[in-house]
Amino acid sequence: MSTHARITASVYTSHVPAIGVAMDQGRTQDPYWQPLFAGYEASRRWMDAHRPDAIVLVYNDHANAFSLDMIPTFALGTAERYEPADEGWGPRAVPPVLGHGELAAHLAQSVIQQDFDLTLVNRMTVDHGLTVPLSLMFGEQPAGAPHWPVPVIPLAVNVVQYPVPSGRRCLQLGQAIRRAVESFDAPLKVQVWGTGGMSHQLQGPRAGLINQTWDQAWMDRLIADPRGLSEMPHLEYVREAGSEGIELVMWLIARGAMSDLADLPGLDAPPRAPRVAHRFYHVPASNTAVGHLILENP
Ligand code: DHB
Ligand code: FE
């Protein structure tokens, strides 16, 4: 039994705000939404059986906590708690997010010492980018629940205002997060989630763009060829997956944290690929394609 923390799995999911609205308004069994939520039933059972002690939740803020006044590329949440943001219709009626101060402080120390110049955030609200993935994976929470079932360390990535980080940098940040987690001196089970995507464009002449073939091929490569995929230029995301498809670079952070991407010198056996515990894809949800993966470390 290890005395240090370890990454047990990574979870990937889109964060379409209308999904949160459908849950909050009790419309998940409407014909439009039923097939989407059916795809997450297995995920919720998996989460019941594989509940971690903490989640590093990689997501993007949509000009709610941040704005054009200040644009951190990678912002790590080191707060005790985070309230849901008011995105214009009042805050979602979901529980506040409980942080994990000790692990967050350790991640800050370790990741910054590994030369990633994170921004640290001690106070912010969290928008649909973070709360919709929690809703999808944990389901509706009882009224008055004091917080979500698992502490969350938010990692907000700027994918809204160019310049945005490269896929390669995101994969490397995931690798740094894995090293940081594995040097935390308590036997915690930690998941890293990558959220946002898949193909979608919300504005301009191509609004409504969805590219199912490209999305599926991208997920194939995320599983089997993450290093190669991390070299994909921004232009290809925007051209093939729409302007908001660029959110997908965040999935590479979670993928980089998986053990097959650890650089262990002298290891004779090739690293074992993660196990695909669940894969789901659905079109449409609002204006976007929804993609979802659960990868377990062997
Ligand atoms: C929508 C908004 C998002 O932030 C997103 O990532 C996907 C969809 C929307 O408004 O439909
Ligand atoms: Fe978004």
pLDDT digits (tens, 9 = 90+) for 78-100: 999 999 999 999 999 999 999 99
pLDDT digits (tens, 9 = 90+) for 52-69: 999 999 999 999 999 999
Those residues whose C-beta lies under 8 Å from the C-beta of residue 114, and which sit 6 or more positions away, are 176, 179, 180
Please give the backbone phi and psi of residue 89, each rounded to the nearest 5 degrees, phi first.
Answer: -120, 20
Average pLDDT over every residue of 283-291: 95
pLDDT digits (tens, 9 = 90+) for 185-235: 999 999 999 999 999 999 999 999 999 999 999 999 999 999 999 999 999
Q: How high does pLDDT run on average in the chain?
A: 96
How far is the centre of ligand 2, averaged over its atoms, from the C-alpha of 88 (Å)? 15
On whether the CB atoms of residues 292 and 197 are closer than 8 A, the answer is no
What is the C-alpha to C-alpha distance for residues 127 and 63, in angstroms, rounded to an integer? 9
For residue 270, name the pLDDT band (cuts at 50, 70, 90): confident
For residue 272, name the pLDDT band (cuts at 50, 70, 90): confident
**Start-to-end C-alpha separation, the chain:** 15
For residue 2, name the pLDDT band (cuts at 50, 70, 90): confident
- CA distances (Å), origin 186, targets 133, 148, 180: 26, 22, 12
Residue 269 is predicted with a pLDDT of 75
pLDDT digits (tens, 9 = 90+) for 116-126: 999 999 999 99
Is 128 one of the catalytic residues? Answer: yes
Considering only CA atoms, which residue is closest to atom 7 of ligand 1?
16
Please say whether the dihedral angle defined by the alpha carbons of residues 43, 49, 51 and 55, taken in this order, is positive or negative: negative
pLDDT digits (tens, 9 = 90+) for 128-144: 999 999 999 999 999 99
pLDDT digits (tens, 9 = 90+) for 145-157: 999 999 999 999 9
Above 80 in pLDDT, residue 1? no
Is 200 one of the catalytic residues? Answer: yes
Does any ligand 1 atom lie closer than 6 A to the CB of residue 62?
yes
DSSP states along 195-215: E--SS---SSTTTT---HHHH
197 CA: nearest ligand 1 atom: 6
Whether a cis peptide bond, with omega within 30° of 0, leads into 198 is yes
Considering only CA atoms, which residue is closest to atom 3 of ligand 1?
16
What is the C-alpha to C-alpha distance for residues 236 and 116, in angstroms, rounded to an integer? 25
How far is the centre of ligand 1, averaged over its atoms, from the C-alpha of 2 (Å)? 40
Those residues whose C-beta lies under 8 Å from the C-beta of residue 112, and which sit 6 or more positions away, are 118
Q: Which of 218, 273, 285, 234 is nearest to 40 (CA)?
A: 285
Say what the pTM is.
Answer: 0.97
Q: Which of 126, 125, 148 is nearest to 137 (CA)?
A: 148
Considering only CA atoms, which residue is closest to atom 6 of ligand 1?
16
